[in-house]
């Protein structure tokens, strides 16, 4: 990209339009309400396990997608991402259903998946072709 060109994908909070606010604010409130409702409807242990898995998975895959923007138009990338998500959720569901005690901070080991995701994404001939 040339210096001085405007990148439309960049988020500029100083350039928000009313339409953007009318979409973003209700979406944030809706997701927040879902988390609060989930917290009141299930036990604390269930909330930590499955709510933590949902939140940390969202953060992990958002990070992966953000740093993979050049591949977003490639079908192979989306097949890889879907496969990674399925394996990720299956492995974590198996783990969380087998352990007796789980703390929210223990989800930090999920960061070990990031280099694997990038390695598979950047595997020669995997997505770029």
- What is the C-alpha radius of gyration for the chain, rounded to an integer number of angstroms? 18
Domain limits of the chain? 13-122
Q: Other C-beta atoms within 10 Å of 2: how many?
A: 4
Cα 119 from Cα 113, distance rounded (Å):
10
Residue 126 confidence (pLDDT): 63
Give the helix/strand (H/E) hosting 33: helix 18-41
Q: Residue-wise pLDDT tens for the chain (129 aa)?
A: 445 555 556 667 677 788 878 888 898 899 888 878 887 888 888 888 988 999 899 999 999 999 999 999 999 999 999 999 999 999 999 999 999 999 888 999 999 999 999 999 998 666 655
DSSP string, 60-85: HHHHHHHTTGGGTT-HHHHHHHHHHH
């Amino acid at each position: 990209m040339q210096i001085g060109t405007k990148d439309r994908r960049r988020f500029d909070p100083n350039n928000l339009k009313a339409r953007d606010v009318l979409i973003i604010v209700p979406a944030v409130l809706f997701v927040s309400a879902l988390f609060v409702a989930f917290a009141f409807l299930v036990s604390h242990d269930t909330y930590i396990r499955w709510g933590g898995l949902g939140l940390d998975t969202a953060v992990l895959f958002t990070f992966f997608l953000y740093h993979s923007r050049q591949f977003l138009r490639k079908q192979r990338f989306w097949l890889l991402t879907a496969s990674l998500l399925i394996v990720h959720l299956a492995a974590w569901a198996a783990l969380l259903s087998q352990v007796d005690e789980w703390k929210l901070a223990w989800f930090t080991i999920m960061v070990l998946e990031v280099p694997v995701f990038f390695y598979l994404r950047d595997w020669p001939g995997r997505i770029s072709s």
